[in-house]
Amino acid sequence: MSSSPLPLSPLCQLPAGTTARVFRLTGDDGFCQRIREMGFGEAALVTKISGTTTSLCMVNGMRIALNHGAAMSILVEHLPAGAR
């Protein structure tokens, strides 16, 4: 498996207003399939709007709220400024 040259963190730890790219999904196959169907597939751009316990995110033009456990299972790579 390749590694990311950019720092990785769980989506729940992304600061509000920050955009990152989904790098890897963790969890069982059913969870990963459902989260991909919601738009959080690998390489998707996601912007965290707000939240700590519940993360409100923008992905593919939709606002989606995720509980803390789901947001912990989505590993994102921080993008350099201007890379969006």
Q: With bands split at pLDDT 50, 70 and 90, how would you rate the model's confidence at 82?
A: low
Model pLDDT, residue 65:
97
Residue 35, H or E segment: helix 29-37
Model pLDDT, residue 1:
47
Instruction: Say yes or no to pLDDT of 73 above 70.
Output: yes
Given the candidates 2.102.10.10, 2.30.30.90, 3.40.50.720, 1.20.950.20, the CATH classification of the domain at 8-78 is 2.30.30.90
Per-domain residue ranges for the chain?
A: 8-78
pTM of the model: 0.87
Q: What is the pLDDT of residues 1-57, one digit of tens each?
A: 455 566 899 999 999 999 999 999 999 999 999 999 999 999 999 999 999 899 999
Question: CA dist 45 to 28, 37, 62, 74, Å?
Answer: 22, 14, 12, 12
